[in-house]
Amino acid sequence: MSRKRRVVMFILLPAVMVSAALLYIPAQRKHSPERPLRIDRTPVLRPDYSNTVIPPNIAPLNFLVDEIGSRYYVKICSAQGKPIEVSNRTGRILIPQNQWRRLLTENKNQTLYFDVFVKAKDGRWCLYSTITSKIAGEPIDRFLVYRRMHPTHTQRLGTVALCQRDLESFHESVILDNGYYKGGCLNCHSFCNGRTDKMLMGVRGPKYGTSTLLLENGAVVKIGAKFGYTSWHPSGRLAVFSIDELPMFFHSARNEVRDTIDLNSALACFDLDSRTIKISPKIADKSRLETWPAWSPDGRFLYFCSAPMLWSDPTRFPAALYKKVKYDLVRISYDINNDQWGEVETVIAAADTGRSAAMPKVSPDGRWLLFCLCDYGYFPSWQQNSDFYIIDLQNIQQTGRYSCSRLDINSDQAEAWHTWSSNSRWIVFTSKRDQGVFTRCYISYVDAEGKVHNPLLLPQKDPAFYDICLESHNTPELVTEPIPVAGEKLARAVRGNSQVSVQIPITMATPMGRQIDEYDQPRQ
Amino acid sequence: MKLVYKLSGANGGKAARCALFFTVYYLFLYLVVDLRLIYHGGGLIMNFPAFFLGWGFFRQFLGFPGGIVQYLSALLSQFFRIAWASPLVVTAQAALISFVTFSIIKTATSRRSFYAALLPAALLLVLYGQYTYHFVTTTALLVALVFGLLQMKISSKGATTGLAGFILLSVFVYYVSGGAYLLFAAVSFINELLFKRRPLPAILYLLLAVAVPYIEGVLILGVSIIDAFTNLLPFHWRTLSHEVAGRMVTVVCVLYLFLPVLLLAFAIQRLMPSASLQQQNPGNLFDKTGLLPLIGKWCRAIFAHRWLVDSLALLAVAAAAVFFGYNSRQKTLLSVDFYAHQADWKKVLAAGSGNPTHPYVIHAVNRALYHTGRMTDDMFRYPQQPNALLLTNDTSWPAYWRVFDTYLDLGLVNLAEHALTQCLEIYGRQPVILRRLALVNMAKGNTGAARVCLGALSKTLFDANWAADYLEKIRIDPNLSADAQVQQLRRLMPQQDREFTAFDPNLLLDLLDTNRQNRMAFEYSMAFYMLTMQLDKFADNLGRLNDFDYPQIPKLYEQAVLIHQTNTKKIIQLSGRQISEQTRRQLNEFLYIYLTKWAANKQSAFRELAGSYGDTYLFYYTYGFSGMKNTVRNAGNEP
C-alpha cells in the first residue's frame, strides 16, 4: 500500500466510524413513538416483575418483551428524576445500571412505571397498559449466598458451587465449589446474625470425607463432624445443629420424583469456646425426630420441628409409615448463661393442621415466624404442596395463642428455603413455580403488618438467563457483607489434615447407632 | 515416472509417505473406528463435552486457565457427530502434532526425525481405537507444542529476547491451555539448557513455570491450586477419579512426555559424540568393525532402498497401533446403543453379535427384539441374563444411560427422569439427555422445566431445530394435546404411585393397570418372570394375552406354560387358546433326550440339547442360560 493510500485510509476510516456512530446513537434513542395504538392489556414480559415491591438497592430488573414486533421501546419512570429509555430491535431490555440506581434512590416508597411500546409488523407503534411496581423504602441486605447445581438425584459428579451474589449489581462469585476438593457436595451454610464473621459450612466428598468448616473472623477451622441443619445462637457462642439420617427414595408416578425421610434425628449444640458438642435430652428425645433448629433473635427460645418416631428400626425404610410422619412446630426456652433448657412447648401441632411443619425462621426483629407446611415429612422442597405460613409472635404475647396464616404468595409448586433480611422487611425464598424441576430464588417484601407481597425473581443481567439455566439455585441466605475468605483458603482447610476432633456424646437420645452413608443424603 | 522418482526422493518421498499415512489414518478412523460412537458415548464415555452457542456459554470458559482450549475443543468435538468430519478433525490434529513435533526436533537438534514425529499420531490412533475421548487434553498438548516451537524460534534470537518472549508467551499459553503450559515450559527449558547451553535463562524459565500458574491461576483467576497446575493435563483429578474417563490415561501421559524425553535423549546423545556418530550411519558400523561382512553388505543393500525400509517401518508402526489399539468389544457396546438410539433395530441385532453376553448388549438386543416383534418367539436365540433385561441391580454409571430409553418406551417416565437426571450429573449437558428430559417434562405437564431444557437445546449445533419446533408447539398449545410422542407417553405413564429405591417388577404391572394395551410392559414383565423362573407369576398374567392381538400363544410362552404345568400339575387357563402340537412334541423330545437318553445328567445332555434346543425356554429353564444353538452349531459341536 502506498503512503498516499495509507494517509487516505487513516483519514477515511475514523470518519466512517464516527459517522456510523452518529447515525447509530440517535437511531437507538430517537425511537420514542408518537401517537401509538393503545393496547388494553399489559405486555408479556420475561421475567414478569409487574405488581411487585422492589428493594431500592436491587440491580436493574432487565427483562424480555415477549411480544412480536420489529422494534421495542421501554420507558421507565417514577415521581422524581429523569425517565430511563431503552430502545432496540430485539426486545431485550437491558436497563443502564447507573440510571436505574439513581431512579430508585430518588423514588423510595414511590411507584415505578414501565411503559412498553412495540412496533408492529405494519409499522404502527403499540403501547400496552402500564406496568407498575412499588419501590420499597427499606433496602435488602446486599449479598445473597446460595448453592448452584443441577437438580440432582444421587449422583454428584457435576459442579456444586457455593456462590455469593451482590444484589446491587449482577456480580456473582464462587466462594467454594467441589472442584476445590476433588468432588463431592457442599451442604448447608449458616451465618450468625446475617453477618459473615461467623459461619458454618458443611462439606463432604469421596477424597476428603465429611467435615464442617467454621469461619471465625477470617480464620478457617475444620471440624471433624457433620453438622446438619444449623442455627447460630445470636450471641455467637453456640450453634445448634441436627444430626440426622436421611436416605433418598423415589416415586414412580408423582410429579416430583425425589423424596426423603428422616429415619432418626436429634439436635445437638456446638460450643464455640470449648469446641465441644453437647446433647440435651430435651432436644434429643429418643422417641422423637427433631430437626430444623432456629433461634429467636433474643436467644431465649429455640424453635424446631419434632415428630414422633413411628418405627423401631431406624435402619430400614418404613414404606408403610413415611407418609404418616408429620412434624409439630415446637419451641424450648434456653438460658445461655446457665446452659439451662426449659420445657418443650408446642407452637403449631401437626394434629391441628393435619400437615407437617418445616424450616421455621424468626425475623430478626422477633416479630414474625415464617415456616413451611407440607403433607408429610421434613423436606418441603420435594413436596409440591409445600406452602409458607406466618405467625405473628407479638400477637401471641397479647392473645396467648399461636395462630398461623397462609401466605398469598404461595404457588401450586414447592416453596421452601427462606431467609430474612437483617431489617426484617425482605425474605428470599426458593420456589419451583416457574420452571418446575429447577428451583429459583425469589424476593418478597414483608410490610409492617406482615403482609408478604408479590415476589420477584432474582434479576439477572441477561433477561433470558433462566430460559436456559439448567441449574437450580437453592439454600439462599441473606448477609450484609461479603464472605471475607477466598475459596483456596477454604479448600486448603478441607484438604488439610488439621481438624478439630469433636465427639458427639452418645446418649440414649442420640441416633448414633450406625455410620450414616453420607452419599445417600439429599442435597436440595 | 518423474513423479514417482520425485516422490521416492529424500523429502518428496517422506511427504508422499506422510500423505499416505494420514490418508490411511483418516480412512481407518472413518471406516473402522467410526468416531460417531465416541460422540454418542453410550454411557461409556463420560468426559465428552457439551457445546452451546452464545456469549453466555463462552463466558464460562474465560474465567479459568485452559478455558479457551476447552471451549475450542468442545466446539470441534461436536463434529464427531458427522461420520466424515470427525476423522478429519482427529487426523488434522494428529498431523499437526506430528508436524510440530518434527519441527521442534529439527529446530533443537537439526535432525529430521520423520518417524519419531509420527509416533504421537500413532498413539492418538490407539486412544481412538480404544474408544476413549481425550481430545481436549490432546488439543492442549498441540497448543503447548505450537507455542513451544514459537518460543524456540524466539530464543534463537538471543537469551534476553528468549526470556522476554517466554514471559509473554507464558502468560498467554497458560491462560489458553491451562496445565499443558507445563509442557510448553518443559520444552522451552530443555531447549534453553541443553541445546542453547544457557543455564541462567533456563533456571528463570523453570522458576516462571512455577510462578505463572500460581500467580495467574490461583491469585488472579482464583482457581484452586490443584486446578491451577493440572487442569487439562491427563492426570487431572477429574479424569483420574472416574474409571471410565481415566481409561488410557497412560497413553496420554506418554504423549505428553514423549517430546521432552526425546529431546533429553537427543541432548544426552550429543554429549556422547562417538555413540551418535555410530548411530548416524549404521552402515558404517559394519564396515568399520569388519564383523559379519555379509550382513554389512546386506544392510547396505537395504539402506540403498531406504525408502522401502522406512515405508515398512511406518506400516509396522501403524499396524501395531491398530493391532494393540483397536477394541472391537468396546465398539460393540457403543454400537448397540448408538443404533438403539436411532431405532435401527436390525443393526442393533447385527452389532450385538460382537459381544453378545455383555449385559448392555443383551439389554439392547431385547429392546430390538421387542421393537421388531420377535421378543416372544426369539428371545432365547440370544444369550440372556435376568438382570440384563432392565439392567436391574446394576448401579454403575453406564447403566443409567442404557436404561432411560427403555423406561421411556415402557412408559416409566419417572424412572426415566431419575436415570436422565443421574446422567445429567455424570455426563453433563449432552443433547441426548436434554432432549429426553424435555420430553419427560412435557409428558408430565412441567412445561416450565421443559422450556428450560428446550431453551438449552436451542443453543446446540444440531438439535436447535428440534427444540425450536417444540418451543413453538408449547407456545401454541402448552398442553401439547396434538403431539403424538407426548400423548403416547401420557397414555403409558402409570397412575398408581409406588416408592422405589431400585427397580421393582411391580412397576411393570402398574403400567398394565393403567393401560392394558401396553404391550411392551406385558412382554417385559412376562420376560422378567421367565428369566427369573417365576412361572407362577407368569401364569397369573397369561390371561393378559387377551388384551393384545397375538394370533396364538407365542412359542416361548407355550414352552413356559408346559413347564409350569409339568412342574405343578396344574392346568393353566388359556382363555380358549391352545398349546400347539409342535410345542408339545418339542417338550416331549426335550424330556426324552434329557431324562431318558442322558438320565437327567445335565452335563452329558448339554451338547445335544444345546444343538437342538439352545434357543428355547426349555433349555434356558434347565441350564439357566441361552443363545446356545448358534454357538454350538458354529463350533461344529452339533450332535
A142-184 tens-digit pLDDT: 999 999 999 887 766 778 899 999 999 999 999 998 888 888 8
Q: pLDDT at position B300, please?
A: 60
Selection from B311, B332, B324 nearest residue B34 by Cα: B332
How far is the alpha carbon of A440 from chain B, nearest alpha carbon, in Å? 12
Q: Using an 8 Å Cβ cutoff, are B431 and B50 in contact?
A: yes
C-beta separation of A374 from A355 below 8 A:
yes
Q: CA B129, CA B45: separation in Å to the nearest integer?
A: 13
φ, ψ dihedrals at A167, nearest 5°: -70, -15
Chain center to CA of B553: 41
Q: How many CB pairs lie under 8 A apart between chains A and B?
A: 137
Residues A127 and A159 in one domain: no
The burial class, CB within 10 Å (0-12 / 13-18 / 19+), for B563 is: buried
Whether B275 is covered by a domain: the verdict is no
Please tell me whether residues B26 and B69 are part of one structural domain. yes
- Three-state secondary structure string covering B48-83: CCCCCCCHHHHHHCCCCCCHHHHHHHHHHHHHHHCC
Handedness of CA B419, B421, B426, B430 (dihedral sign): positive
- State the cell numbers at B454: 428446550
CB-CB neighbors (< 8 A) of B495 in chain A: 253
Residue type, position B616, single letter: T
Mutate to test the interface with B, among A170, A316, A470 (most CBs of B within 10 A): A470
Q: Nine-digit cell at B1?
A: 515416472
**What value does the mean pLDDT of chain A take?**
90
3-state secondary structure of A471: coil
Q: Using a CB–CB cutoff of 8 Å, tell me whether A322 touches chain B.
A: yes
Strand ranges inside A252-379, DSSP E: 258-260, 264-271, 276-278, 288-295, 301-308, 328-335, 340-348, 356-362, 368-374
Question: Residue B187 in contact with residue B259, Cβ under 8 Å?
Answer: yes
* pLDDT recorded at residue A515: 39
Q: Could you tell me if residue B310 is inside a domain?
A: no
CATH value at residue B471: 1.25.40
A154 and A298 together in one domain: yes
* Chain mean position to CA B405: 18
Kindly indicate the confidence band of residue A524, based on its pLDDT and cuts at 50, 70 and 90.
Answer: very low
B512, B536, B561 - which closes a domain? B512
Cβ proximity of B346 and B49 under 8 Å: no
Q: HSE on the CB side for A188, CA within 13 Å?
A: 21
Q: Is residue B254 part of a domain?
A: yes
Q: Which residue has the cell 442404557?
A: B402
CATH of the domain at A260: 2.120.10.30
Q: Residue B529's closest CA among B509, B501, B553?
A: B509
- Contacts with B497 from chain A: Cβ below 8 Å: 251-254
- Are residues A207 and B421, on separate chains, in Cβ contact within 8 Å? no
Q: Are A382 and A356 in contact (CB under 8 A)?
A: no
Residue-level pLDDT at B304: 58
> Does residue A249 sit within a domain?
yes
**Cβ atoms of residues A7 and A29 within 8 Å:** no
The runs of H, that is alpha helices, within A325-475 are 350-353, 393-399
pLDDT at A152: 81
A468 touches chain B (CB under 8 A): yes
A301 beta partners: A333
Judge whether A397 is closer than 8 Å to chain B, CB to CB.
no
* Domain presence at residue A26: no
Whether B507 and B527 map to the same domain: the answer is no
Integer angstrom CA distances of residue B520 from B143, B336, B411, B416: 51, 19, 9, 15
Mean pLDDT, residues A121-133 taken together: 94
Beta-carbon-side half-sphere exposure of residue B328 (alpha carbons within 13 Å): 9
Q: List chain B residues with CB under 8 Å of A182.
A: 226, 237, 241
Question: Which positions ≥6 away from B624 have C-beta within 8 Å?
Answer: none
Do B42 and B71 sit in the same domain of this protein?
A: yes
Query: Do residues B239 and B178 lie in contact, with contact meaning Cβ atoms separated by under 8 Å?
Result: no
Q: Same domain, yes or no, for B351 and B456?
A: yes
Q: Which residues of B touch A251 (CB under 8 A)?
A: 414, 497-500
At a CB cut-off of 8 Å and minimum separation 6, what does A265 contact?
Answer: A228, A242, A243, A244, A245, A289, A290, A291, A511
User: Is the CB of B415 inside 8 Å of chain A's CB atoms?
Assistant: yes
pLDDT beyond 70 at A516 = no
Task: Flag whether residue A470 sits within 8 Å of chain B, measured between CB atoms.
Answer: yes
Angle (deg, nearest 10), helices B519-531 and B555-568:
40
Tell if the CB–CB gap between A436 and B218 is shorter than 8 Å: no
Per DSSP, the three-state class of A294 is strand
Cell readout for B350 is: 447385527
Q: What is the CATH number of the domain that holds A63?
A: 2.60.40
Q: Is the peptide bond before A47 cis (omega within 30 degrees of 0)?
A: yes
Number of domains forming the structure of chain B: 3
CB of B418 less than 8 A from some CB of A: yes
ipTM of the complex model: 0.88
Extract the C-alpha cell encoding B386.
435376568
In this structure, are B526 and B626 located in the same domain? yes
pLDDT of B478? 94
Question: Which residues 240-259 in chain A show a CB within 8 A of chain B?
Answer: 247-255, 257, 259
Query: What residue of A is the nearest CA neighbor of B219?
Result: A488
Phi, psi (degrees; rounded to nearest 5) at A113: -110, 135
Contact A252 B500 (CB under 8 A): yes
Q: Of A86, A110, A135, which closes a domain?
A: A135
Q: B500–A250: do the CB atoms touch at under 8 Å?
A: yes
Say yes or no: A210 and A62 in one domain.
Answer: no
Do A243 and A511 contact (CB within 8 A), yes or no?
yes
| Structural domain ending residue among the three candidates B247, B267, B287 | B267
The single residue listed with the C-alpha cell 457436595 is A185
User: Which residue range is the domain that position A255 belongs to?
Assistant: 143-495
> Is residue A510 a part of any domain in this protein?
no
pTM of the model: 0.89
Round to whole Å and give the CA distance between B363 and B384.
9
pLDDT digits (tens, 9 = 90+) for A460-478: 999 999 999 999 999 999 9
The most distant pair of C-alpha atoms in chain A lies apart, rounded to whole Å, by: 95
Q: Tell me, yes or no, whether A80 and A149 share the same domain.
A: no
Q: Choose among A157, A182, A435: nearest Cβ to B426.
A: A157
Domain check: are A205 and A82 in the same one? Answer: no
Pairing of strands A248-251, A219-223: unpaired
The DSSP letter of residue A201 is: E
Contacts of B429 in chain A (CB under 8 A): 470
**Which of A153, A253, A465 comes nearest B418 by C-beta?**
A153
Contacts of B288 by beta carbon, 8 Å cutoff, 6+ apart = none
A227 and A118 fall within a common domain: no
Identify whether the C-beta of residue A208 lies closer than 8 Å to the C-beta of residue A189: no
Q: How far apart are CA B145 and CA B124, in angstroms?
A: 15
Q: Any chain A CB within 8 A of the CB of B492?
A: no
Under DSSP, is residue A209 helix (H, G, I), strand (E, B) or coil?
strand
Q: Are residues A401 and A265 in the same domain?
A: yes
User: A466 and A472 in contact (C-beta within 8 Å)?
Assistant: no
Helices (H) and strands (E) in chain A, counts: 5, 36
- Determine, yes or no, domain membership for B212: yes
Torsion of CA A466, A469, A470, A471, to 10 degrees: -90
Same domain, B351 and B397: yes
Taking a C-beta distance cutoff of 8 angstroms, is the pair A234, A193 a contact? Answer: yes
Are A303 and A209 found together in one domain? yes
Interface check B500 vs A, CB under 8 A: yes
> Within its chain, how far is the Cα of B531 from the centroid?
30
Same domain, A58 and A203: no
- Residue A514 confidence class, pLDDT cut points 50, 70, 90: very low
Chain A closest-CA separation from residue B509 CA (Å):
12
Residue A231 has pLDDT above 50, yes or no: yes
Chain B: residue whose CA lies nearest to A494: B224
State the pLDDT at residue B224: 87
B319 vs A198, residue with greater confidence: A198
pLDDT band at A20 (very low <50, low <70, confident <90, very high): low
Q: Do residues B471 and B541 both lie within one domain? A: no
Instruction: Answer yes or no: is A282 within a domain.
Output: yes
Picking from B224, B237, B489 by the largest number of A CB atoms within 10 A of its own CB, the best residue to mutate is B224
Higher pLDDT, B280 or A242: A242
Domain end marker among B227, B251, B267: B267
A184 and A257 in a common domain: yes
Contact A87, A29 (CB under 8 A): yes
A128 and A230 co-located in one domain: no
Q: What angle do CA A29, A34, A36 make, to 5 degrees?
A: 115
Residues B171 and B126 reside in one and the same domain: yes
For residue B252, what is its C-alpha cell? 496420554
Is A252 close to B415, i.e. CB distance below 8 A?
Answer: yes
Chain B residue at shortest CA distance from A323: B499
Mean pLDDT of A293-305: 97
- pLDDT score at B285: 40
3-class DSSP state for residue B316?
helix
Give contacts of A517 with chain B, Cβ < 8 Å. none
| B314 domain-assigned | no
The model's pLDDT over A175-194, given as tens digits with 9 standing for 90+, comes to 998 888 888 888 889 999 99
DSSP annotation of B28 reads I
Domain assignment present for residue B382? The answer is yes
Coil, helix or strand at residue B444: coil
Average pLDDT for runs of 10 along chain B of length 639: 45 77 94 96 93 93 96 97 96 96 93 85 93 95 97 94 96 97 96 93 95 95 91 87 77 95 89 54 45 58 63 76 85 97 96 94 97 96 95 89 96 96 92 97 96 97 97 95 96 94 91 96 97 96 93 94 93 86 94 90 90 93 85 46
Specify if B294 maps to a domain. Answer: no
Q: How far apart are CA A476 and CA A431, in angstroms?
A: 11
B8 and B43 inside one domain: yes
Q: In the predicted model, what is the mean pLDDT of residues A398-402?
A: 85
Looking at the structure, tell me whether residues B530 and B583 fall in a common domain: yes
Q: Say whether A153 and B421 touch across the interface (CB within 8 A).
A: yes
Statement to judge: residues A250 and A372 lie in one domain: yes
CA torsion A256-A261-A267-A268 (nearest 10°) is -90
Render pLDDT for A419-431 as a digit per residue (tens, 0 to 9).
999 999 999 999 9
The residue type found at A175 is I
What mean pLDDT do residues A353-382 have? 96
Query: How distant, in Å, are the alpha carbons of A4, A399, A421, A453, B304 from that of A445?
Result: 67, 26, 10, 5, 90
Domain extent at residue B602: 521-634
Say how many domains are in chain A: 2
Query: In this structure, what C-alpha cell is assigned to residue A152?
Result: 440432582
C-beta of residue B19 within 8 angstroms of C-beta of residue B121: no
From CA A455, how far away is CA A196, in angstroms rounded? Answer: 26
Select the residue of B238, B422, B496 nearest A154 (Cβ to Cβ): B422
B166 plus B58 within the same structural domain = yes
Cα maximum dimension of chain B: 97
A226: cell is 457433620
A252: nearest CB among B52, B400, B497 = B497
Chain A residue with the nearest C-alpha to that of B455: A468
- Is residue B38 in a domain? yes
Please name the residues between 43 and 62 in chain B that touch chain A, using a CB distance below 8 Å: 46, 52, 56
pLDDT of residue B275: 46
